[in-house]
Amino acid sequence: MLVRIGSRGSRLALVQAEIAAAALRAAGHQIAIVPMTTAGDRDRKSPFGQIGERGVFVKEIEEALLEGRIDVAVHSAKDMTSTDTEGLVVGAYLERDDPRDALIGADAIVPGMRIGTASVRRRAQLLAFDASISVEPLRGNVDTRLRKAKERGLDALVLSSAGLDRLGLGGEIGLRIPPAIMLPEAAQGVVALQVRAGETEIVAHADDSETRRRVEAERACVAAVGGGCLAPVGAHHDGSVLTGLVAAEDGSWVERLTGGDPTALGLQLLAALESHAA
């Protein structure tokens, strides 16, 4: 069976598409990779708030899947909305890679640093860790961000450990930031294979059950909060404990809670967020 895989066209996205392709070839499928461009790829300068919330890197690929132009969509799971798009399901989560955020250019976070990131979640936690840090907006693919950080003379930047590892750039990481300091994005480090509802058999053999257990808990927690790319929200399941986080964008307050029920935990976080807003 020929399976058409839709993917963003960045170097990292295509590496992830090849990882997915290898898993599907193992089941005897023939693979055609179809690179696509999303709203988040077309506009690499504007803040996410000007081009949309969570989902700016997946919408066009999901539309192609719904329209039958591709058979499987490959996403960084952290880029997906926290609830499934109608008519689509995640048929497989590949085994999780390192979910931690990575500091590039330095081996420690110290006072007064200039650090680049486009993530409000990372920004909030950096400022909560030390308010003297200057957090500067930095967008683009991995190679672009590395180049811009050097051109602007930044002390460091924060990226995903998993993405750097997949690109063979793990040696550039100065510090894999512990979740106790910077709680990851929900589903960070995971490649998701999305299919049309009723067609999970195409990818089901590639699903890692333990990764699914953790990621579904993280996504449910964030869904209950209502978090997106614009909200400083994080969730991470380490195998035994689910931790969720909401924060002020300026790091002036951070609520970090743990719980067994993802939805209940998310609602607790939402209540904390509303309390601070009031």
Cα distance between residue 138 and residue 249, in whole Å: 16
Cα distance between residue 100 and residue 185, in whole Å: 9
Catalytic residue (choose from 79, 97, 98, 101)? 79
Which of 191, 148, 143, 185 lies closest to 167 in space, CA to CA? Answer: 143
130 is catalytic: no
Residues taking part in catalysis? 79
